[in-house]
Structure 1
């Protein structure tokens, strides 16, 4: 089944119809989606700027990551759940949109980078300056930040892509 056929099938389901036809669902879920992206990006900004040596340099990276990772994960879960509801409501507009797929690729990249880049920091014996990849810490922090900012831009462009 093609993506277009799947989107058309999804569009015709009672759940999709209910989401579209209930006046408060789309704006309410969009508001939650925006708050969730603020949580993800806000946590990423603090952690990435700490790892880049710009913010909270008086704190250990472990303390910053330990404080902000739970916010990032819970916001990411809320972001994905609200995005799923929005996609159910307007499947053709979302699934047939290349900007949406770019956003999903960026979210996946940001997620994987967060797993690979931040979780080692939580280990009590971890020291950034002693790792084999110490030279990559700052560039990866800036790349991570750029990825999450690009997710925000893609999210806005989804609505305007024709």
Structure 2
């Protein structure tokens, strides 16, 4: 089954139709999605800038990361749920969109980098690598935001 065929099938389902026909659902879900993006990016921004040695230098990187990492994980769950609802409501807008898939790849990259690299980067001997990874992750999160915004125009 192609993505186009799946998108067409999904669009015709009763739940997709209900989401589109109920005027408050899509704007509400989009608002929740945007708020969750703000939490992820804000938390990542503080964490990455601390790892880069720019922000909150009076606190240990581990302490700052421990404070914000739960916010990132929780908001990512909300993003997954709200994003899924948006895809169900308007599958043609996303599933056939190259920018959407680029955004998903970048989110996966940031998620895996955070999951796999966060603890090793907090060691004292990893400071140069931590700074590099922190700046790269800030670029990735910025690209995610750009792609998310650009989906509407492609």
TM-score, normalisation: structure 2: 0.96
The SS at the match of 1:31 is helix
The SS at the match of 1:96 is coil
**Within the alignment, does 1:111 sit opposite 2:111 as a pair?**
yes
Deviation track 1:9-63 (CA, whole Å, cap 9, x = no partner) reads: 0000001001111000000000000000000000100000000000011111110
- Partner residue in 2 for 1:101: 101
Deviation track 1:56-100 (CA, whole Å, cap 9, x = no partner) reads: 111111100110000000011101110000000000111000000
Structure 1 residue runs of 5 or longer lacking an equivalent are none
Aligned length: 154
CA positional deviation for 1:120: 3.8
Q: Distance in 2 between matches of 1:20 and 1:147?
A: 31
- Partner residue in 1 for 2:45: 45
Of Structure 1 and Structure 2, which has the larger fraction of its residues in helix? 2
Q: After the TM superposition, which segments of 4 or more aligned residues of structure 1 sit over 2 Å from their partners? A: none
Q: Distance in 2 between matches of 1:95 and 1:75?
A: 22
CA positional deviation for 1:141: 0.3
CA positional deviation for 1:118: 1.5
CA positional deviation for 1:148: 0.8
Q: CA RMSD in A?
A: 1.1
The SS at the match of 1:53 is coil
CA positional deviation for 1:130: 2.2
- Partner residue in 2 for 1:141: 134
CA positional deviation for 1:159: 0.9
Q: Distance in 1 between matches of 2:125 and 2:142?
A: 29
